[in-house]
Every structure is written in C-alpha cells, then in structure tokens.
A and B are shown apart, each in its own frame.
Chain A
Amino acid sequence: MEAEKEGAEEQQGLFYRQRLKAAVHYTVGCLCEEVASDKEVQLSRQTIAAISEVTFRQCESFAKDLEMFARHAKRSTINTEDVKLLARRSNSLLKYITEKSEEFNVERKTKKKKKLEDENKDSLEPAEAGGVGSEN
C-alpha cells in the first residue's frame, strides 16, 4: 500500500517534472527562434532540446543555491540579495538584475506611498508578483 502510494507520488512528481520540462522547452524554443531570426541563423531541434535540458538543470541548481543562501543569511524566505548573489558571476546579468531591483524598489516606494495614502493592500500583491517576475 505504501509502496503504491509512493509510486503514485513519484509518478505524479515525474509527471509534474515532465510538464515543467515541456514548459521550459517551449519557452526556450520560442527564445531560440527569436535569436535565430535576429542573427539569421538556424538552430536544429537537438540544439534547442539540449539548451532546454541545460536550462532545466541549471534552474534546479539555482533553486538549491538560493535556498542555501537564504539559510546562510539565517532567513526562511529567498530574498533579492540571494538572487543577486547567485547572479554575481556574469557581470551583465548582475547589472541587469540590480537595475531591475532598483526599479522595482522605486516602484514599490511610490506604490507604498500611494497605498499608504489610499490604504489599499490588494495592489501590493500583484505589484510584488510583477516585481518578482521582472526580476527573474
């Protein structure tokens, strides 16, 4: 019984994983098409598949690292600082992230002011979600 449950859970996990991989593959494919059209170069399907596989594994590594960084800073939630620490390797990416984070902070401040004035909490969540999405 337990084995079956575990097996089912694993299957579900695997299924979920496959879905994620498929989503990543699709996104990578779209991006590669844009780059190909931009550079006027063609990319084979194997290449796109390889890139998507690498991206997926790298995302796993990122997640683990982010969790480690957050734990290292004795926090339970992943912060923008953790993300910046993760992206420190590539300067361009780090720049981009810092810029975005600054923009986000500015937006946050202005929005906070508005919210404080309006005392409307609902706008914070979508703003944060948007900010997080832009950061990532």
Chain B
Amino acid sequence: MADSDISDNEPTTRTLLRRVLDTEAPRTPRRRQSTRAGVQRTPLGTPFSMRLRSQTKTTAGRQPHRARSIGRLAHIQTRGQLKEQTPRTLLENILLTAPESSMVMPESAVKPVPAPQVVQFSRRESSPGSLELQLPELNAPTTLAPGRLTSGRRKKRLRLSEFQQGMDQGLPLSQGPVTEPPGNTGASSLSSSLNLTFATPLLPQSVQRPGLARRPPTRRAVDVGIFLQDLQDTSVATALPGDRTPVATLPTDTVLEDTQPFSQPLIGRSPSVHHSLPYPSLSAERTVSRRTRSSGPGLQNNSPGKPAQLLAGKAEEVDALAMGFPNTSSSTSGEDGVEPLLGGVGEEVEERMEESMSLSEVKEAAGAQASARAEEPEAHTEVAEAEGSWGAIEEKEPEGSSRDKDTEARPELASSTPEFPRARQLEFLEPAPPTSTAVGLFRQQFIPAPSLSSEPLEPLSARLPTRVQTARPRLRQDSYKMGLSHYAKLFSFYAKMPMEKKALEMVEKCLDKYFQRLCDDLDVFAAHAGRKTVRLEDLELLMRRQGLVTDRVSLHVLVEQHLPLEYRQLLIPCAFSGNTVFPAQ
C-alpha cells in the first residue's frame, strides 16, 4: 500500500486526494482489516479503475500504477463502508465518485504517457511541456482539419520516435491511435491528434498511386508503330472478310476523328492522282495505316475494273474497292471533307501510277488504291455521318437526296475505317495478282515513315482537281452504292444468317430506290406547300403516309421514343423559365 510513488502527475482532484490519502494511509490502525477487505473488494474496484484507465489508454507502463490505484480504491472502499465521518472518508468518497480523468485534462494524462514511454521519470518533466504543447491542440481539433494536421505535425516527430521506441520495446501504445479511426470524438482529443498525425502520410500515398492518374491516349503512336512493323514484316496476311461486317455498325465518329488529321496531307494529292490512273491498281495492300483505313471502305465501291482479279477472294469490300477505284479518282464530292480525303487517296494512287508495274508491288498498289478509295468514301462518310447523325431532321433539305447517298457512302466507309487496318492490309495483300501500276517505289517510300510518303503526294494534288470535276457525277453514283453497301452490311448483320451477294445487291437496290423516293417525296411535299425548303411538316406528312405517324401516334411521341435528348430538345418545343420557349416556333 505504499503509495509514495505517485506516477501520475495529473493535477486532478483525484490525484491530489490520493496523495493525501496515501500519505495518511500508514497512520490508520485499520489498515490490516482494510487490506483483507481490499483483497475481497479488488474485483469491485478493478473494473472501476480499469474503466477509468482505459479511457486514457494506459500502457504497460501504466499497469503498475493501475495496480496501485486499484489497491487504493479497495482501500478506500473498505474505509468508506465503515461509515466513518472523518475527513478521510469524505475524501475517499470523493475519489470514488469523481472521474479519474476529465475531458479537459486527459490529453495531458495521455500525452505524457505515450511520449516518453520508456523513460517514466521524464514524464514529470515532460508533462508540463507536453501539456503546453497540447493546449493548442486541444483547441485545434474542433477547428479545421489543416489546423489539426499542422498541430499533429508538431507532435509527429515525437510520436514517430516514440512509436519506433515503442515498437522496439513491443509497446502497443502507438498502435492504438493508428488503428483507431479518426472518428473518436468521445475519446481524448489527444488520441484524435494522434490519429491526425498518422493521417497525414496517407495523403501522399494516395497521390503516389499510379492507377488514379489519367494516362493520355497514345493510340496513334501505337498504331504507327504496329503499322511499321507490319510493313516490315511483309507477312502474308490471312484475309478477314467476314469480320468486318459486324464492325460496320461501329460509330464512325471515332474513325473520322482519327483520320481527319491525316487528311491534310492528302488534300493536295487526291484529285490529280485519281484521274491519272487509268487502271486503279487495287492490289495495294500496304498503305499508310490511316489511309488504308479510309481507303479500304472507299475503294470497295469504286474500282469496277480491277476488282475481279484482285478482290476475288475478298469480301464485298474488296469488290467494292475494285468497282470504285476509277471512280474514286473522279470523285468529286463538293464537300470540303471529301477533298482532303480525296487528296490523300489521290496521293497513293499517284504513287502507284508512278511506280512500275510489278506483282510484288501489288501490295502497295492495293494500299494506294485503298487510300484513293478511302478518300472518296471518307469524304462521303464524313458528310454522310454528319447527316446521318441528324437522321430525319436533315432529310428535310431538298438536297438531301444527293446527300443521303453520300451519307450512305460515308457510313459505309466510316464503318470500315474502324476495322483493323492490319486486316485490311492483309486483305489487300491477298489480291496480289498482277497489277497495272507498279508500286515498288511506293513501298520503299512508305516503309521508312508514313509521314514522309505523304509529303510527295501533296504536290500532285494540283493536277487532280481539273480531272476530278469531269468524273464527279459518276462518283456520286458510286458513293450512293458505297453508302448503300453500308446499310446492306447492317442488314446482313441483323439477319444473323449468312447472305448471298446477290441478295445483298438486291437489298442495295431496294434501299437505293427507297431513299430516292423518300427524297423525291420530301421535295414534292415542299413544293406542294409552295416552299423551296423541306421542313418538318413535310417530313411529318411523309411519315404519316408511311404509317409511322398515325392518329394515335404523333411525331412527338416518336421523337421521344427514338431520338436522344439533345435532338428531342431541338425538335419538341419546351417552355423554360421566363416564358421562353425553345426552340422558338
């Protein structure tokens, strides 16, 4: 019961009373009895003391003190039961009832404990200092977090060193605040401060995580590299005809975005190149990766001459390529988007033309053709896509008839463009049969770098424009079919069954007639109403004739059902705040 050693330096009432009692303890003659009773009552006192101590997260260092306190409590309780009205008993009662640690002071109690765990003697010395340090912290926890962090940082060093010491010695002190989440409002603010100190290192960790960082898209660079590898490999490709059809449904937006930057070098060349080629060498297998993409779809429909030889083994695309090639050279879509594409295609075509005729060069020729084709179809696809995106809305325009054809061509092209350029190259490689144009030089130029090859093509574009104009109407027809083949592919895709080529051709014919009639009707309806521009009313009348719009189903209902919100907002007038109606009628 010797309590000479008062480990806790808390200037609490309890500690003071304890000191008083301890100093007076040896004087009472009833100690012996109390000791016995104290043994019996230790279980009663221990939970109380344990509870009190647990609040401050006593450590092993505290345990001896706890034992002493338990002994004291038992001692006090025994005395209290004797019901002596002495000042001693009063003090004992106070000790029993008063909380061991107050909300205000626990930090001071806890802080000195964890701080110098090893050195207990230094507690007394450091406690006043720690108390001082903690005072600002006491006020801080309720304030902003950065305040907490800053205050925590001051103590961070102490804590960490103590933590390390504690870890070395196996003390579990530091683990407590670390494991505890920062949600201990009820606990001492010291513990929360401890949590704060350990919270700060977590922030840099999250920043350091690479997964959260967004990587910039590096697709193009990879494509070029792969393309160059393919060029150098000169491996015989296995055609992938059937794979393209489902890809046709891919959105063309992405493709066009990729191809647009490359269309610039193509601008100058396309027109002249096209016309210069008497025989569109369809066998071009290798082209600039991007060009091949664009050219692939375009060429499909364009070259009628060579197709048979070169594209025999390929899918419809190849056939279309052969068909469309000579036409591509004459492609004359007046749209701006077409010309750059045409230029690009023309470049490759020219290159083919320039080079000697050789079988080995067929690949390049095919690629060049593909690029040439791609020009037109790309141009058309761009237009078509832009139009197609507007769908029925754009049909209003009387020029829509021609544009629809372009749109048909474009979606086809666009659809093919997202397809793997390699696959296309491979396809072109297959029709290696003799080609009229020599592509050897072309290949040599292309292998080093696609950018370089594009440069020589540009100056040739100057010749093309004059030639292109003459053949434009023919190209437009082909662009119709190019666009229609896109829909035919969609048809075959949704049919979920293999389809004959003849069947697809019939589908194309039907689609062609359908679209022509559609646009004629729109034109006539507009004229019937005494207007020159096709409007929504004309289209609504058409849909009513088609049976889509009935007395039960109105146009607005269809718009709501099928169009996305952006278009719906444009079509259906809606009232907004301030009595404003958009779109204004």
Which A residues lie at the B interface, using CB under 8 A? 65, 68-69, 72-74, 81-82, 85, 88
Contacts and interface: CB of A to CB of B under 8 A. Distances in A.
B538 to A, nearest CB: 8
Interface of chain B: mostly helix, strand, loop or mixed:
helix
B530 A73 contact: yes
B545 to A, nearest CB: 7
Interface in B401-433: none
5 contacts: A68-B541, A72-B541, A73-B528, A73-B529, A88-B524
B65 interface: no
Nearest to B544: A68
Contacts of B529: 72-74
Contacts of A82: 528
Given A68-B545, A72-B541, 4 more contacts: A72-B525, A81-B528, A85-B524, A85-B525
A73 B538 CA distance: 10
Contacts of A65: 545
Contacts of A72: 525, 528-529, 537-538, 541
Interface string B489-531: 0000000000000000000000000000000000011001110
A64 to B, nearest CB: 9
Contacts of A88: 524
Contacts of B528: 69, 72-73, 81-82, 85
Interface size range on B against A: 10 to 19
A74 B541 CA distance: 13
Q: Quick one: which of A65, A72, A82 has the most chain B CB within 10 A?
A: A72
Contacts of B524: 85, 88
Nearest to B551: A64
Interface of B: 524-525, 528-530, 537-538, 541, 544-545
Nearest to B530: A73
B401 to A, nearest CB: 15
A112 B528 CA distance: 27
A81 B525 CA distance: 11
A81 B528 CA distance: 8
Contacts of B538: 72
Interface of chain A: mostly helix, strand, loop or mixed:
helix
A102 to B, nearest CB: 19
Nearest to A89: B517
A65 B541 CA distance: 9
B548 to A, nearest CB: 14
A98 to B, nearest CB: 14
A74 B530 CA distance: 10
Nearest to B540: A72
Contacts of A69: 528, 541
Nearest to B545: A65
A13 to B, nearest CB: 17
A87 B544 CA distance: 17
A73 B541 CA distance: 11
A82 B525 CA distance: 10
A60 to B, nearest CB: 13
A73 to B, nearest CB: 5
A135 B544 CA distance: 25
Contacts of A81: 528
Contacts of B525: 72, 85
B547 to A, nearest CB: 10
Nearest to A85: B528
Contacts of A74: 529
Contacts of B530: 73
A72 B541 CA distance: 8
Nearest to A69: B528
A70 to B, nearest CB: 10
A124 to B, nearest CB: 26
Contacts of A85: 524-525, 528
A65 B521 CA distance: 13
A82 to B, nearest CB: 8
Q: Which 8 A-B pairs have the closest CB atoms?
A: A72-B541, A73-B529, A85-B528, A72-B529, A73-B528, A68-B544, A68-B541, A72-B537
Nearest to B541: A72
A82 B545 CA distance: 14
A69 B528 CA distance: 8
A82 B544 CA distance: 15
B531 to A, nearest CB: 10
A6 to B, nearest CB: 19
Q: Quick one: which of B525, B528, B544 has the most chain A CB within 10 A?
A: B528
B541 to A, nearest CB: 5
A74 B545 CA distance: 17
B546 to A, nearest CB: 12
A81 B524 CA distance: 11
A65 B542 CA distance: 10
Nearest to A79: B528
Contacts of B545: 65, 68
A136 B233 CA distance: 74
A88 B544 CA distance: 17
B520 to A, nearest CB: 9
B186 to A, nearest CB: 76
B227 to A, nearest CB: 52
A63 to B, nearest CB: 13
A88 B521 CA distance: 10
Q: Quick one: which of B524, B538, B545 has the most chain A CB within 10 A?
A: B545
B512 to A, nearest CB: 17
A85 B541 CA distance: 12
A82 B530 CA distance: 13
B510 to A, nearest CB: 16
Nearest to A88: B524
B533 to A, nearest CB: 15
B419 to A, nearest CB: 40
A122 B545 CA distance: 38
Nearest to B525: A72
A81 B545 CA distance: 17
Contacts of B544: 68
